[in-house]
């Protein structure tokens, strides 16, 4: 190939490395220095390079999307707990304060209070509940149903708290944890044969926690137990409309 033809080859839209490889590829085809198969293989590697880089960049995003909702909520609780421990002033804009002197009730606090915890131990306890119960309920509920369960549990508890104790501050991930526990209990009642002995023990513990909460006389424990039962009924209704996918069936 004449050098004038090489100079006329369109190179403006290519990177430096790709320019040289395209030129060499074209030159080798003309003079027969190497076979077309080896050159085309090199071209495939070159063209696949940027796509591979994009795949590596999207790996972390894909892992976050595939992570269970309970695990993502647990990570959020841990991050926010550490931030509030380091910066205590973050509590005020996120906490649910219905009628404090000089404070305005903001709409977002009906949900954001559930991301605050009373300390690191409460955060760990809530994260364990979300993770363990999530392994049971998340394969059985659609993503939109899980989001509705989480948001509905937080809204129901804050609304009940506003009606029962309007002059106090409300924080804690207890309503969301109760929602997951209630959904777990009703999932177990729906199909007890699909679970082992550990699930029976967990269901009995959850039922006892709800009963003692309702009979305790504490308005906070009553509203949390009520939230858990309501979330369990919602999960029971939604599961009845979907085929139950067990772990063994999912592997097959």
The per-residue pLDDT for 79 is 93
Q: Which domains does the chain have, with CATH numbers?
A: 3-63 (no CATH), 68-251 (1.20.1540.10)
> With contact defined as beta carbons under 8 Å apart, do 11 and 24 qualify?
no
**Exposed / middle / buried, residue 214 (Cβ in 10 Å: 0-12, 13-18, 19+):** middle
Average pLDDT over residues 70-96: 89
- Angle, helices 69-86 vs 120-137, to 10°: value is 170
User: Is residue 177 predicted with pLDDT exceeding 80?
Assistant: yes
> With contact defined as beta carbons under 8 Å apart, do 99 and 168 qualify?
no
Average pLDDT over residues 188-197: 78
- Ramachandran quadrant class, 142 (left: phi over 0; alpha: psi -120 to 50; beta: rest): beta
User: Is residue 181 predicted with pLDDT exceeding 90?
Assistant: yes
Give the tens place of pLDDT for each residue, 120-170.
899 999 999 998 898 889 888 888 999 999 999 999 999 999 888 887 888
User: Is residue 117 predicted with pLDDT exceeding 50?
Assistant: yes
Catalogue the long-range contacts made by 242-246 (C-beta closer than 8 Å, 24 or more residues apart): 242/140, 242/141, 242/142, 244/140, 244/190, 244/191, 244/194, 245/139, 245/140, 246/139, 246/194
pLDDT category at 34 given cuts 50, 70, 90 is: very low
Q: pTM of the full predicted structure?
A: 0.70
Pairwise pLDDT comparison (47 vs 29), residue with the higher score = 29
The per-residue pLDDT for 250 is 42
pLDDT category at 191 given cuts 50, 70, 90 is: confident
């Amino acid at each position: 190939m004449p050098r004038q033809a090489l100079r006329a080859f369109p190179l403006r839209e290519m990177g430096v490395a790709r320019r040289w490889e395209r030129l060499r590829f074209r030159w080798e085809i003309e003079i027969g220095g190497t076979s077309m198969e080896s050159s085309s293989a090199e071209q495939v590697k070159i063209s696949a390079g940027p796509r591979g880089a994009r795949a590596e960049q999207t790996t972390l995003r894909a892992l976050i999307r595939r992570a269970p909702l309970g695990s993502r909520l647990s990570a959020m609780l841990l991050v926010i707990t550490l931030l509030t421990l380091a910066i205590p002033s973050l509590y005020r804009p996120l906490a649910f304060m219905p009628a404090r002197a000089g404070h305005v009730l903001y709409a977002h606090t009906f949900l954001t209070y559930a991301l605050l915890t009373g300390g690191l131990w409460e955060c760990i306890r809530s994260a364990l509940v979300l993770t363990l119960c999530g392994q049971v309920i998340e394969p059985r509920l659609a993503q939109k149903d899980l989001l509705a369960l989480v948001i509905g549990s937080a809204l129901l508890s804050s609304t009940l708290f506003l009606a029962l104790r309007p002059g106090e501050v409300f924080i804690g991930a207890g309503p969301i944890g109760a929602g997951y526990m209630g959904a777990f209990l009703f999932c177990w009642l729906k199909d007890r044969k699909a679970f082992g002995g550990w699930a029976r023990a967990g269901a009995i513990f959850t039922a006892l926690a709800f009963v003692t909460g309702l009979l305790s006389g504490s308005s906070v424990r009553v509203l949390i137990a009520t939230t858990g039962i309501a979330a369990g009924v919602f999960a029971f209704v939604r599961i009845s409309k979907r085929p139950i996918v067990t772990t063994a069936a999912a592997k097959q």
